A = this chain, B = another copy of it.
Amino acid sequence: MDSNWSRREIYKILEVTRGKKSIASIIFNAILLTTISLNTFAIILHSVKSLRHDFDVFFSDFEYFSVVFFTIEYFVRLWVCVENEKYQHPVWGRLRYIFSAGALVDLLAIMPFYLSNFTSDTGLIRILRLFRIFRLFKFSRYVHALKVIESVFREKREELILSFVFFLFTLLISSSTMYYIENSAQPKVFSSIPATLWWGVTTITSVGYGDTYPITPLGKLLGGFVAVAGVAMFALPTGIFVSGFNEHIKIYKNEDKNMKFCPHCGEKLH
């Protein structure tokens, strides 16, 4: 009984709800947000050689503190998750919680640190280090808007796949043709179709770094058409995202407003 009461209280503190929040919850979430933010800054600044040298102890101390903090957070969340209706069962509920998106993100934030103690392979340690940046995903708990993006991607699935197929066709056909045209003139730059795909992507997306570009008249003609086709590649996803986000932002805004709907078709009444 006592344990349950404190568990429920802790659950309320950890849980991010859209209603009123207790002071304890506000303080805890402020600390958590600050820690994630500082982690992001620490990871970015740690990559700067001079800073890494001068503040080595500070960075390593902060890393220890973060991992301890996130580890405690992870296990406390695992303990109190049964307060959520979705994970009521003490064993199976907790197991299902472990494989929920939120818990996996929390695990991803701490696992690399522990795994790096089991290996001395510098290559692997480098990769595990890289994974620390995914601590950024811990923010997703607070960014409600990410759900909007997720929904848009799910609903506009077909259209986005169509766009991507259209992009892939244009990319493959144009890059293969460009390879056959430019290869003899620039055997180093357009050495193979995979190498030419890099030209294709940077041209279609209109990035145009300038490391690879056609120099033969025929190659420039094809390159011009691909650049123009790239404009169309911008148009399609723009239309899809525009309509998708507009629909969702409307729904999201109306959630709080007790809107009335037409009883016949569910359309909003104006």
Check A12 for interface membership: any CB of B closer than 8 A: no
Q: Is the CB of B228 within 8 A of A232?
A: no
Copies of this chain present in the complex amount to 4
Q: How far is the CA of A264 from the CA of B139 in the complex (A)?
A: 42
Q: Does residue A48 face the partner (Cβ distance < 8 Å to B)?
A: yes
Which single member of B230, B235, B249, B269 contacts A238 (CB below 8 Å)?
B235
Decide: A162 near B136, CB < 8 A? Known: A193-B43, A234-B231, A268-B265.
Answer: no
A268 and B262 alpha carbons, distance in the complex (Å): 12
> Is A86 an interface residue, CB under 8 A from the partner?
no
Q: Which residue of B lies closest to A44 (CB)?
A: B193
Chain B residues near A249 (CB-CB < 8 A): 158-159
For A45, the chain B residues whose CB sits under 8 A away are 194
Closest-by-CB residue of B relative to A140 is B169
Chain A at the B interface: SS class: helix
Whole-angstrom CA separation of A58 from B223 in the bound complex: 31
Indicate if the CB atoms of B234 and A239 lie closer than 8 Å: no
CA distance A193 to B228 in the complex (A): 19
With the chains together, A211 CA to B191 CA distance in Å? 20
Q: Number of A residues contacting the other chain (C-beta, 8 Å)?
A: 84
Asked if residues B180 and A162 are in contact (CB atoms below 8 Å), the reply is: no
Other A-B pairs beyond A202-B208, A262-B264, 8, CB < 8 Å: A198-B223, A206-B207, A207-B208, A208-B210, A236-B245, A239-B241, A239-B245, A265-B268
A-B contact pairs, 21 of them (CB 8 A): A44-B172, A47-B192, A48-B193, A126-B180, A127-B180, A136-B169, A143-B165, A145-B162, A145-B166, A149-B162, A158-B249, A198-B220, A202-B224, A203-B207, A205-B228, A206-B208, A208-B209, A232-B237, A236-B245, A240-B245, A265-B267
Interface residues of A (CB under 8 A from B): 40, 43-45, 47-49, 126-127, 129-130, 133-134, 136, 139, 143, 145, 148-149, 158-159, 161-162, 165-167, 169, 172-173, 176-177, 179-180, 191-194, 197-198, 201-203, 205-211, 213, 217, 220, 223-224, 227-228, 230-243, 245-246, 249, 253, 261-270
